[in-house]
Amino acid sequence: MHCKICLQSIEKDTTWSTLFDFRERTLCLSCDEQLEKIREPTCKKCMKRTEEKLCSDCMFWEQHLGEDPLDRNISIYTYNEYMKEMMSRFKYRGDYEIVYAWKDSFQQAFHAHFSKGIHLLPIPLAESRIFDRGFNQAEALARLLDQPLFAGMIRTGQEKQSKRTKWERLSAKNPFELIETPPENVIIIDDLFTTGSTVRFAAQLLKKAGAKCVSSLTLVRS
């Protein structure tokens, strides 16, 4: 068994305390230690680190969207330097295998917060992006969970939002389009939750089309 990040053998750092779980582990101890899980206190809605009940991002959306279409976001890791490096290997250098490094924690988070059988919606990627990268990173994460996928949403607008302010994001055209009626409960899957605008655009369409409960499970909260 080899670590999915550094490719070192995992057996070699097996000690008495880890002996019984090494067969299921996908990361060596030193790589695992560098991934930083989100700790309390966090926003009750989106898991951003804050002492407040609701973070400034969530307050912004609530004020400006009227009713926030997103019921809740669950994230697992912080966006530390190590995670940034992993993400760039995963997304920009097309290292698909890295996704298995997050498998255990992604599955655990899913089972701790959601029930089986709920449809997952990986955030759609533009066709041209899939062509460049070879895969959709959100779909790669969703496939770790072994739950039904909802594939009735497509991306018609552009992806790059990182340089926009919240106001620009708010007034931007919804980059997604629904091509099928969504199920009642949907969990949106994505790699990174920053201000939550992407996930909320998707949630807005789902709710308008009749979905009752829309949450998201994202690997990283930046």
Closest to Zn ion by CB, 53 or 111? 53
The residue from 25, 35, 58, 214 that contacts Zn ion (CB under 5 A) is 58
The residue from 14, 26, 43, 191 that contacts Zn ion (CB under 5 A) is 43
* Cα of 186 vs its chain's centroid, Å: 14
Stretch that binds Zn ion, among 57-65, 103-111, 150-158, 171-179 (CB under 5 A): 57-65
Question: H or E segment at 216?
Answer: strand 213-221
- Reading the block at residue 18, the tokens are 């880890």
Q: Is 87 among the residues that bind Zn ion (CB under 5 A)?
A: no
User: What are the angstrom distances between the C-alpha of 155 and each of 18, 103, 158, 159?
Assistant: 44, 26, 8, 9
Q: Nearest distance from residue 61's CB to Zn ion, in Å?
A: 8
Stretch that binds Zn ion, among 20-28, 117-125, 139-147, 205-213 (CB under 5 A): 20-28
End-to-end CA distance of the chain: 31
Question: In whole angstroms, what is the distance from residue 184 CA to residue 206 CA?
Answer: 9
Q: Is 5 among the residues that bind Zn ion (CB under 5 A)?
A: yes
Query: Which residues in this chain contact Zn ion in the complex, by CB under 5 A?
Result: 3, 5-6, 28, 31, 43, 45-46, 48, 55, 58
